[in-house]
Structure 1
Amino acid sequence: MKATIWHNPKCGTSRKTLALLEETPDIEVTVVEYLKTPPSRAKLEQLYRDAGITPQEGLRVRGSPAEELGLTDDSVTADQILDAMASEPTLIERPLVETEKGVRLCRPQERVQEII
């Protein structure tokens, strides 16, 4: 099975999720350091749709400029959040993992077990 993780090596949860993937037999892992190689807006939209969450649920608030940009306000649309994430990848909560079984925002890291 192939798995892609949108990873931040400075994040403990992301590192633990990656370790779970690497320790699982028969998984070929592709690591995308999303701060260096951000996903496109269309890819983000697809990942959240496939994960069954909204862009609001995928918004990283802690340690990001989300509040200063007004993105935590209830009137902000999913499209506005996706546009902001596409231009400022620190707004993307991590880690996102995609396999043939689906996509999960792996917080906590054990959520990756649902799709491997």
Structure 2
Amino acid sequence: MNITIYHNPECGTSRNTLALIRNTGVEPEVIEYLKQPPSLAILTKLISDAGLAVREAIRQKGTPYTELGLDAPGLTDAQLLDAMLAHPILINRPFVVTPNGTRLCRPSELVLDILPLPQKGPFTKEDGEVVINSEGRRVTTSD
């Protein structure tokens, strides 16, 4: 089963997403993108395959986004991508690639839409939110 997560172990959303993948019984390929940034071609493909605009894939919080002037509306996608490659902390996370598609998994439970295998048991996010019940089914706000 080929599943890849572009992961930041310091990020709770990324840790929750990784745990949801592992809750299917699959050990994904984990790429710590801050240590091993993607190439321009891979980053462009991740963003495109996830159905996002380049600007939607940029992380603003806790990054040099404003200091680098990336909030300027006239910047091109190429300029934004160059900044993301020069400062990988600007790449929003986590991106997950499975045989069923690619997603920027914010919130982490978005990964459930592309996982090929079902959850094997209950799952509670780090903040205490129950995502998967004891029957292995997704909990929704209407439950």
- TM-score in same-fold range (> 0.5): yes
Structure 1 contact 5–32 (Cα < 8 Å) conserved: yes
Question: Greater CA radius of gyration, 1 or 2?
Answer: 2
Structure 1 contact 41–85 (Cα < 8 Å) conserved: no
Greater relative contact order: 1 or 2 (C-alpha under 8 angstroms, separation 6 or more)? 1
- Matches of 1:43 and 1:33, distance apart in 2: 14
Structure 1 contact 2–28 (Cα < 8 Å) conserved: no
- Matches of 2:81 and 2:101, distance apart in 1: 20
Q: Please report the TM-score for the alignment, with normalisation by the length of structure 2.
A: 0.78
Q: How does 1:88-103 map to 2 (within 5 A)?
A: 88-103=87-102
Equivalent residues, number: 115
* Secondary structure of 1:82's aligned partner: helix
- Matches of 2:23 and 2:49, distance apart in 1: 24
Q: Please report the TM-score for the alignment, with normalisation by the length of structure 1.
A: 0.95
Structure 1 contact 8–94 (Cα < 8 Å) conserved: yes
1:85 corresponds to which residue? Answer: 84
List runs of 5+ in structure 1 lacking aligned partners.
Answer: none
1:9-34 Cα distance to aligned partner (Å, 9 max, x none): 00000000000001113x34000000
Are 2:109 and 1:110 aligned?
A: yes
- Matches of 1:66 and 1:9, distance apart in 2: 21
2:125 corresponds to which residue? Answer: none
Richer in helix (by share): 1
* Secondary structure of 2:56's aligned partner: coil
1:13 corresponds to which residue? Answer: 13
* Secondary structure of 1:2's aligned partner: coil
> Runs in 1 of length 4+ with deviation above 4 angstroms?
none
RMSD of aligned alpha carbons = 0.9
- Matches of 2:100 and 2:82, distance apart in 1: 27
- Matches of 1:112 and 1:72, distance apart in 2: 28
- Matches of 2:64 and 2:101, distance apart in 1: 29
One-letter code aligned to 1:21: I
- Matches of 1:95 and 1:103, distance apart in 2: 10
List runs of 5+ in structure 2 lacking aligned partners.
Answer: 116-143
Q: 1:72 offset after TM fit, Å?
A: 1.6
Q: How does 1:1-116 map to 2 (within 5 A)?
A: 1-25=1-25, 27-116=26-115
Q: 1:95 offset after TM fit, Å?
A: 0.5
